[in-house]
Amino acid sequence: MRKRIELSVVVPIYNEEESTPVLCEAILHVCQSLAVPYEIIFIDDGSKDGTPQVLEKLHQEYSNIRVIQFRKNYGQTLAMAAGFRAARGKYVVSMDGDLQNDPADIPKILHTLEQGYGVVCGWRKDRKDKLVSRKIPSKIANWLIGKITRVPIHDNGCSLKGYRRSVVKQLPLYADFHRFIPAMSTLGGAKIAEIVVNHRERSFGSSKYGISRAWRVFLDLFVVSLIVRSSARPALWFGKFGLVALLAGIGCFMIFLAYNISGIVLPSVAFMFFALTGHLVALGVLGEMILATGDYRPGQMVRDGILAINRDKGASLHE
C-alpha cells in the first residue's frame, strides 16, 4: 500500500536551469531529515531555456519528484494553482524557484502548521534585494494590502508559505492573485500565522519582477478586496449601496416637496435613484444565487476543522 504523503513542496520554476538542481538537492536534504513521506512538485512555467530537460532528469533520478510542464508561460499564480491541484500531502509548502527562499525554513513552517494554523506566511524580514526598486515599493504595497484586506501580513509577496491541505484545495487561484492568498484564505476562515524566514541573495539568473507591475498589483488589490467583501454576503453588500441610493432618492424627493420647487428635474433624479436601488437589490439577490450554486462557501474551512479566531479583528499573528 502506498504511504500517505505528509508534505508536498510546490515550486514554480521559470527559466532557472542553473539554480534548479541546487535547489532540488537542498529541498531533498531538508525533507529527508524530516523523516515523513513527502513529494516535491516542480511546475515548469513554459521555460525557454534548458529547465524542462533538467527537471525531466531530476524526475527520472528521484521517485518522489513530480514535474508539471506547462505549454506556455502562464505566470506564478497559475503555476502554483496547478501544483496545489496536484499536491497529495496533508501539508503543502510553496516556495520560489530562484534559491532566494531557504529550504531550511521548511521544518519551521511545518511545525507551525501542526500547531493548528491554516496558513503560515513567510516574512523576509531581512530582505536581500535592491532598496529603491524592490524593498520600498513592497513595503508600501504590503501596508496597503493589509489596510484594504484587513489582514495585516508583513510580506504578502513571499512565496515561502505553508498551508493545510483543506485550505489549498479551497483557494480560488486565478489571474494574478497569489499575493492575496492570506486575504482570501481568511474569508474561508483559516487561521493565519507569520514567521520570519531567511532570504538570500540571488546567485543565478535574473529577477523576473519589476516596478512596472505596481499598477497591476494595485488594480488586483482593489478587485480582490471587492470580491472578498462582496462575496461573503452579496445581498447585504449590494443592498447596502441600494439603501444609499434609496436615501438619496428620498432626499431629492423631500427637497422637491419641502421647497415646492417647480420643474421636473428633481423628481426625475429621485426616480433614477429609485431605479438604481432596484438594480442593486436585484444584483444582490443574483449574487446570493450564484454563491449558492458555486463551490465556494465562506467559512467552509471552519467546517473543515480549522477554527478561526478573531476573524473580525483580522488574522491572529505571531512571530
Partner 1 sequence: MTVIAMNPSSTDSHSATHEASNPPLAVSLVVPVVERSQDIEAVYHAYTSILDKLSLTFECIFVIDGGDRRVMNVLEALPSTKCPLKIIPLPYYFGESMALAVGFEQAAGDVIITVPPYFQTVPEGIEQVLKRLDEGNDLVVTKRWPRVDAWFNRLQTRMFHNLVNRLTGQSLSDLGSGLRAMKRPVAKEISLYGDLHRFLPLLAYQKGFRIAEVEIPQHTADSQHRVYRPGVYLRRILDLLTVVFLFKFTKKPLRFFGLIGSGLFAVGFCVSALLALERMLGVTSLSDRPLLILGVLLMVLGVQVGSIGLLGEIIIFTHARKLKEYTIRKFYR
Residues within the interface to partner 1 (CB under 8 A): 46, 55-56, 59, 66-72, 74, 78-79, 81-82, 86, 169-170, 172-175, 219, 223, 226-227, 230-231, 234, 238, 241, 245, 261-263, 265-266, 268-269, 272-273, 275-276, 279-280, 283, 286-287, 290-291, 293-296
Task: Identify which of residues 116 and 278 has a Cβ nearer to partner 1 in the complex.
Answer: 278
CA distance 175 to 193: 25
Return the amino acid letter for 109. I
Query: Helices 234-258 & 214-232, crossing angle to 10 degrees?
Result: 90
Taking the complex as a whole, the smallest distance from the CB of residue 273 to partner 1 amounts, in Å, to 7
Residues 162 and 93 sit within 8 Å (Cβ to Cβ) = yes
Query: Cell digits for 238?
Result: 449590494
Least CB distance from residue 66 to partner 1, whole Å?
6
Residue 3: which residues within 8 A CB-CB, separation 6 or more? 37
Question: CB 139 → partner 1: shortest distance, Å?
Answer: 26
Q: How far is the CB of 135 from partner 1 (least distance, A)?
A: 29
Nearer to partner 1, 59 or 311 (CB): 59
Adjacency order of strands within the sheet including 192-196: 38-44, 7-13, 91-94, 161-164, 119-123, 192-196
Please say which residue, 248 or 317, places its beta carbon nearer to partner 1: 248
Q: Which is nearer to partner 1, 33 or 268 (CB)?
A: 268
CB of 111 to partner 1, least distance (A): 29
Residue with cell 510580506: 155
Nearer to partner 1, 146 or 249 (CB): 249
Name the CA dihedral angle for 173, 77, 284, 251, rounded to a multiple of 10 degrees: 150
Unique residue bearing C-alpha cell 535592491: 130
Nearer to partner 1, 4 or 125 (CB): 4
Nearer to partner 1, 67 or 197 (CB): 67
State phi, psi for 93 to the nearest 5 degrees.
-115, 130
At its nearest, how many Å lie between partner 1 and the CB of residue 191? 21
CB of 199 to partner 1, least distance (A): 28
- By beta-carbon proximity to partner 1, the closer residue of 128 and 303 is 303
Alpha carbon distance 236, 32 (integer Å): 50
Distance of closest approach, residue 8 Cβ to partner 1, in angstroms: 13
* Residue 275, number of CB atoms within 10 A of its CB: 12
Exposure of 310 by Cβ count < 10 A (0-12 exposed, 13-18 middle, 19+ buried)?
Answer: exposed
Tracing cell 421636473 back to the chain, one arrives at: 264
